[in-house]
Amino acid sequence: MVQSKFKSYDELPLFLNAKTVAEVLGISMAGSYELLHQEDFPVLRIGSRLVVPKEKFLSWIESQAGGAQRE
């Protein structure tokens, strides 16, 4: 499992790449790329890069967790 270096949502960058998504969720890079290619995941394609806006990522997490509140 990948260990996250982030201790709170505030520490996340404005845009997350595949590596950061993997670190935050504690999943592999392969799992992160699989997630970034799902239709309902809030990813932006900038050229060949896939990035996720921080606020959209947090909203997606809340929706997956049944609307749990952030701390």
pLDDT digits 0-9 by tens, 23-50: 999 999 999 999 999 999 999 999 999 9
Per the structure, how many domains does the chain have?
1
Query: What average pLDDT does the chain have?
Result: 89
Kindly state whether residue 4 falls inside one of the protein's structural domains.
no
Residue with tokens 């929706």: 63
pLDDT at res. 66: 78
pLDDT at res. 5: 79
Q: What is the DSSP letter of 7?
A: S
pLDDT digits 0-9 by tens, 50-64: 999 999 999 999 999
CATH number, domain of 32, equals 1.10.10
Structural domain of 18? 9-64
Beta-strand runs (E) in 1-71: 15-16, 44-46, 49-53
| Integer Cα distance of 2 and 55 in angstroms | 22
pTM value surpassing 0.75: yes
pLDDT at res. 23: 92
Q: Is 9 exposed, middle or buried (0-12, 13-18, 19+ CB in 10 A)?
A: middle
Kindly state whether residue 47 falls inside one of the protein's structural domains.
yes
